[in-house]
Amino acid sequence: MLRVAAVSYLNTLPFIFGLQQSPLQFELQLHYPSRLLDIFKNNECDIALLPIAALKLIPDAQVITNYCIGCNGAVASVILAGNCNMDDAQSILLDYQSTTSIQLTQLLIRDYFKLNKKFEPALPGYELQFDKNKSLALIIGDRALQLKNQFSLIYDLGELWKLHTRLPFAFAVWVCKPGLDDKMINAFNNALAFGVYNIKAAIASSKQYEIDEAEATHYLTANINYHLDENKRKAISLFLKSI
């Protein structure tokens, strides 16, 4: 049975739906991004939706499929949030669930804003407890969508990357280790494709998320872009060279 590890956020819903509708026999594990690296390194899965920052740490990881978790501008679910602007922020809290977005935050503050900031690792619950008037917090995933109205100022990292590079971005890609059968990879890719092209059906069938259908549809179709195209591959290469 194929062991699949993916992100436990709403943005993977089309992928999960596609797999569930396919004839593939699979065991699914859902985790936040920073956990997936260890799962893949420890051979606890055959295929993983791996944060792109982890590609530097696993040289034998083989990027597969035509799909990713990406954006072409504002992504909505990867944000720096608070009640102070970037210049006035005394520190930046870094989401413990993140891998790629931490590196992207540091890159953008260094190269786009051209500032030096104090970065602090954040513990669970930080997004509800930090001093919004003195700090900005990196918040990713569904919590970013749920909490966005609690802050007076939000920097969207997908939008900032596009302003900085004029490129889209890919936060996570599907990878396997060498040796996985090509037929299995093709079948997996086809399953993902079915989900990506049937997002409304995926949302309608979901029992995992308590979501507003209109908001979810807008997020998964207007903010998230699933196609791993040439420009996203260029963005991945640029990002990995820059961190």
Query: Which residues are CB-neighbours of 223 under 8 A, at least 6 positions away?
Result: 71, 74, 75, 76, 77, 158
Residue pair 192/15 in contact (Cβ under 8 Å)? The answer is yes
Q: What is the pLDDT of residue 210?
A: 66
CA 231 from centre of chain: 17
Helices vs. strands in the chain: H and E counts, helices first:
9, 11
Asked if residue 96 has pLDDT above 70, the reply is yes
Q: What is the mean pLDDT of residues 75-82?
A: 98
The size of the chain, in residues, is 243
Confidence of residue 60 (pLDDT cuts 50, 70, 90): confident
d(CA 46, CA 64): 12
User: Crossing angle, helix 230-242 and helix 100-111, to 10 degrees?
Assistant: 70
- DSSP 3-state assignment of 80? strand
Query: Which residues are CB-neighbours of 31 under 8 A, at least 6 positions away?
Result: 5, 6, 7, 8, 39
CA 15 from centre of chain: 13
CA 13 from centre of chain: 13
- How large is the C-alpha radius of gyration of the chain? 18
Cα distances (Å, whole numbers) of residue 131 to 90, 123, 128: 10, 14, 9
d(CA 123, CA 9): 19
Confidence of residue 66 (pLDDT cuts 50, 70, 90): very high
pLDDT tens readout for residues 160-195: 999 999 999 999 999 998 889 999 999 999 999 999
